[in-house]
Amino acid sequence: MSDPSESASLTHIDKFIARWKVSGAAERANYVSFLNELCDVLEVARPNPTVKDEALDDYVYERNVTFQNPDGTTSAGRIDLYKRGCFVLEAKQKTVRGTRGWDAAMRAARGQAEQYVRALPHAEGNPPFLVVVDVGHSFELYADFTRAGKTYVPFPDARTHRLYLEDLTREEVRERLRLVWTDPLQLDPGRRSARVTREVAGQLAALARSLEESAAGHAPERVASFLMRAIFTMFAEDVRLLPAGAFTELLEDVKGRGAEIFVGMVQSLWATMNTGGFAPSLRAEVLRFNGGLFESPEALPLNGTQLDLLVAASRADWRDVEPAIFGTLLERALDPRERHRLGAHYTPRAYVERLVLPTVVEPLREEWDAALAGAITLQKGGDERQAASVVKDFHRRLCRVRVLDPACGSGNFLYVTLEHLKRLEGEVLDALHGFGER
């Protein structure tokens, strides 16, 4: 039986969607009403009235800011909707959507929102989110959880950062927007990732210690190689390179059936992953995983307690586990002084980004901002081909970037850097599509 309160809520949302889908292109007249009603749908408070003391205007429409111009002069601006510690929101309303012109207008709106962030008083800090709204049509989310105000990227990614009005019927979408309004740092994937990674690393460290100190006395290098293969397999099933949940189900299926069954089933799977083909252990076709990781498919025999630790690690959502754990595991295997300290030696992403963002990412983003501005100017002047050429030139420049980590240990800094560069590349390719390139 359906929940009457849920049905009533959906009816309210459906009415909101139907009402605003037919609204016209009059953003200044419409955006306040639209956002007030959106707050009701999200069950969050509506913005406050402005007051004389602007320092108290922490959640208001038309928040005043002052731009510091390059020539030393100042100019005034107004943020459409601002909530301190949460977001800067820029509202537009267009009648023609899904065109290159619309894409350009939304990019310009994002750029305007970034300028507002830079114009905020330093004491207020930078909000973690930018929200770009096409009234009655869509919402775009950009996040910078470092709060540096310089690296806002599509959230949660470039494919799903745009939400449409009809998406409000989905509870997870409403919850995402609700948190943008009320507790945006809860959406920081780095926080969850760090917690999950530490938990998993602790389980794997306990397993490694147990294997090395068992009667068999497995050598640390053999233990590390075994765990590396197991970790990669857990990643593979959660990112759908293997059938979803297949490896975890295999581990649970062999519990209580003896160490020989475990070894045989897992070694059979890993041998097939090395070549590709049908894996009897999973009763499914699997891809070939090159690179040499599975050239030796050795699986170590586990007792019941050890298998429980591996199953517990496998049950985690490995999409939330930092891939940098691979490098940490390798470093642990190579340095006897670091044995059993897999969990203790994991460097949180936030620490890595304190170095990576200002030295590599932010300078490249400044270049990209300049290139994109030039491309938009050319497009507005009717030279779309040259606009696309400017974007292609920057993409070639990005692809030639080389990063040196002179103190490279586990490779965590290089991994995080690559991830940010790939995010930037995604934005470049998305913009290229907007300039008519396929």
Across the chain, what does the average pLDDT equal? 85
Kindly state whether residues 151 and 75 are assigned to the same domain: yes
Over residues 250-299, the pLDDT tens digits come to: 999 998 888 899 999 999 999 999 999 999 999 999 999 998 889 999 99
Kindly state whether residues 260 and 322 are assigned to the same domain: yes
Q: CA–CA separation, 106 vs 251, rounded Å?
A: 48
- DSSP H/E element including 111: helix 100-119
Q: Which domain holds residue 176?
A: 4-187
Kindly state whether residues 178 and 196 are assigned to the same domain: no
Task: Work out whether strand 87-92 and strand 129-134 pair parallel, antiparallel, or are unpaired.
Answer: parallel
Structurally, the chain folds into a number of domains equal to 3
Kindly state whether residues 113 and 214 are assigned to the same domain: no
CATH number at residue 130: 3.90.1570
Kindly state whether residues 286 and 356 are assigned to the same domain: no
Q: Which span out of 12-26, 90-104, 125-139 was modeled with the highest average pLDDT?
A: 125-139
4 pLDDT tier (thresholds 50, 70, 90): low
Furthest C-alpha separation in the chain: 77
pLDDT the model gives residue 340: 47
Q: CA–CA separation, 423 vs 157, rounded Å?
A: 8
Q: CA–CA separation, 29 vs 114, rounded Å?
A: 23
3-state class (DSSP) for residue 279: strand
- Single out the residue of 425, 403, 400, 401 nearest to residue 412, CA to CA: 403
- Tell which wins on pLDDT, 413 or 31: 31
pLDDT the model gives residue 9: 62
Kindly state whether residues 77 and 219 are assigned to the same domain: no
Over residues 313-367, the pLDDT tens digits come to: 999 888 777 766 666 555 554 455 554 454 445 566 777 888 888 899 989 999 9
- Tell which wins on pLDDT, 100 or 15: 15
